[in-house]
Amino acid sequence: MEGLHVALQKAHNANVFQGISISGIDISHLFYANDAVLLSNWDPSNVPRIIRILRCFYLSSGLIINLLKSKLIGVGVPLAQVEVAACKVGCAPDCCPFIHLGFPVGKNMSWITAWSSVVDRF
């Protein structure tokens, strides 16, 4: 995963792949255990760039991203656009809210009902 981090960081620094800015901090990717989350403003030109980065990662490391388990999510983006981009990548489209590692993401967590799946899990 260190190799993928370096590739994504170099792509970000070279303005090939843009992440998002939160409170002045640029974030292009997050890793947790075996999961990778790529973050970007919605730009269809990022799709072939991401595909190239993942392909280079595969060719250099022999590790392949399991696209059957991968999802493309567009926040505030019409589902039709997300479906087109996901088809190009080879993964499934999804929308918010969604479940990641058994927990809801994108729900209004100030609602008591949003926590029910978390409480049930414990």
What amino acid occupies position 75?
Answer: V
Q: Give the structural domain span for 51.
A: 2-121
Name the one residue in this structure whose structure tokens are 């590739």.
Answer: 7
Residue 7 sits at φ, ψ, to 5 deg, of: -60, -45
Is 12's pLDDT higher than 70?
Answer: yes
Residue 55 sits at φ, ψ, to 5 deg, of: -65, -45
How high does pLDDT run on average in the chain? 84
If one counts the domains in the chain, the total is 1
Residue 99's Cα: distance from chain center in Å?
13
Q: How far is Cα 120 from Cα 14, in angstroms, rounded to an integer? A: 45
Residue 31's Cα: distance from chain center in Å?
10
Tell me the whole-structure pTM to 2 decimals.
Answer: 0.75
Span 68-72, mean pLDDT? 88
Cβ atoms of 65 and 72 closer than 8 Å: no
What pLDDT score does 64 carry?
85
